Structure formats: structure tokens, C-alpha cells
Amino acid sequence: MRQLKKKRPIIYPVASGKGGTGKSTLVSNLGALLARKGNNVVIVDCDFGGSDLHLFLDIPETVPNLSDYLNGEITDLRQLLLPTCVKDLNIICGGNEMVGIAAVSEQSRKNLIDKVIELDADVVFIDLGAGTALNTLDFFSHIKSGILVCNPEPQSRVSAYGLLKNIIFRYITNSFRQNENIQNTLADFVAGPGRRNGRILDLVDKIDKIDTKLSDQIIENLKSFNLRLILNRVRRRSEIDDIQILVNLVREFLSVELDYIGFLRSDRIVLESCQKRRLFIIDSADAPASIDLTRITNAQF
């Protein structure tokens, strides 16, 4: 009999433009929600140098972890899977003890991405570091999807836009590495209009003069990006309305759609659960933040 092709998991890289947005809190609780709905879920801590996802699930022992995989002591990523307090939710812990882990080589990043895609799971959430580290950019540009976590403050929106801008530039750079003319055009754009308010379509117009087929390919590929936005720690209704500003900017200047999928209210229960190393979605299912996250999960995942 012909062997059935193994189904690949749905992969969600999760990142934020700045630290402190509640990204890891959302990854752990969102993973738990989906696992309780009958999915086989894996959460992976790829915040190299700042790994703490295990603490949200009260897992003190994080060995072996990604440090052991990246330095070659562990060769099978599946050996790093650890069970959690939630049935069908497993975690792969990051590692902070390996010197230089934050500066993982490009080939190591690529190999890791390939192995994460091969994990035996229904859904995989990848908790990435805040900001524009190459590890974050490569996960998003390779998988062409992901979740962005943002707070209502203007500074957080600016950082989120900067992250998305770098993801798109990284994707185009990686796509045409062997084309010297494209690389020179991209470098000129990044040094000039790209530093200010240059639109991706302006860059595409420049590429079109070199190769029309390549410019058409970029436009089509940008349409296939699946980027989602969660607004965290909302205090006022006006803050929800303001997020549309970011969505519109991304559409106009980066030529990709940023799908705003919902918000979580600011809730003291979340902080209390983090301090206890517990999941707020389990301990306080009727709390405002739990209700909000459940609504997002039921509608979007």
C-alpha cells in the first residue's frame, strides 16, 4: 500500500516589536486552550538568550533544551519534547546557558526551522524574541505567516511596524540572493527611501525595470503572507480603534495584509498567574483576559 504522506503542523511564529508585550504569556495560554480543544500542540521557545517560556508552565528543569540541539549534543529535535501540566501540550525549552546562543548561524537557523516544520503535532507556536533579530525575521520570512503581539501604546505600534518592515525586506533579500542587480537595488532602497517612508511598491517598480517577472513574483508572494495581530492589555475602547492605524500603514507601505484578530483586556489576574507560574486560562477561566483569549481562539484557530 502507498504510504500516506505525513500531515505537517500549522506553524505560528509569535513575535513582538518590543519586549514586555505579553508574548510568552499568550503563547503558553493559547497553546493550552488549543490543546484542551483536542489538538496536539507544541510550543517552542526560540527566544535565544532570553528563554523563559517554561516558567509560565512551572517547569523548573529545562535540560535537554535547544542549546543541546544547536551545539550538536542532541541530534533529534523530538528528544527535547517535554510534557506540561496540560494534556496534549508539549514544550521545547530554549537555552540561555550556551555562550553565543543568541548569535546562531544562518545555516543552524535554517536547519532548526526545517525540523520544527517536521514535528508531529497539529499546531506549533514558536515563541520568538522581541525586536528584529535575524532569528525572528527568518522564521517569519520562511514560513510567511505569524502572530504579532502589540500593546496599545504608540511606541509599541511603531516597534511592531518596524518589525514587519524588516520581515518583508528580509524576505525579499533571501528570495533573490543570487541576483546581484536585485541586491544592489534593495541595498540602495534600504539606505534611502526604505529608511524613511518608502513604499514596497516603489521598490518593486525599481525591480520591474530590471526584470518584470521578478517584480510580479514579489507582488504575488507578498499576497500569500498570513500575518495576524493581537492587541494585548487594552484599557479603553479607543485603543482598539487606534490599532486600525497600524493595519492601514502596513497595507499602504508594506503591501501586505495585517489581520487584526482581537484584543485582551488589561487584567490583574494575568500578572498574578505569571507570578505563580500558572496559566490564567486554567486558574481563572472567567477572568476578562481569559474570556477574550477564548473568544479569539474559537474564532481564529
CA angle (247 as vertex; 242, 252 as ends), nearest 5: 125
CB atoms within 10 A of CB 153: 14
* pLDDT at 101 (0 to 100): 60
What's the pLDDT band for 1 if we cut at 50, 70, 90? very low
Name which of 27-31, 146-150, 183-187 the model is least confident about. Answer: 183-187
Collect contacts of 35-38 with beta carbons under 8 A, ≥24 apart.
35/86, 35/87, 35/88, 35/89, 36/86, 36/87, 36/88, 37/297, 38/88
**Mean pLDDT of the region 250-273:** 96
Whether 37 and 281 have beta carbons less than 8 Å apart is answered as no
What's the pLDDT band for 254 if we cut at 50, 70, 90? very high
Of 153, 148, 143, 169, residue with least CA distance to 247: 148
Q: How does pLDDT run across 145-159, given as a tens digit for each residue?
A: 999 999 999 999 999
* pLDDT at 29 (0 to 100): 98
Domain 10-153+226-300 grouped into CATH 3.40.50.300: yes
Largest Cα span, the chain: 59
**Mean pLDDT of the region 138-150:** 95
* pLDDT at 238 (0 to 100): 93
Name which of 9-23, 176-190, 229-243 the model is least confident about. Answer: 176-190
Return the higher-pLDDT residue of 213 and 228.
Answer: 228
What's the pLDDT band for 138 if we cut at 50, 70, 90? very high
* pLDDT at 4 (0 to 100): 52
CA angle (297 as vertex; 37, 234 as ends), nearest 5: 140
Q: How does pLDDT run across 160-178, given as a tens digit for each residue?
A: 999 999 999 999 988 888 8
Domain boundaries, the chain: 10-153+226-300
Summary mean pLDDT of the chain: 91
Q: Is the pLDDT of residue 2 over 50?
A: no
Q: How does pLDDT run across 111-137, given as a tens digit for each residue?
A: 999 999 999 999 999 999 899 999 899
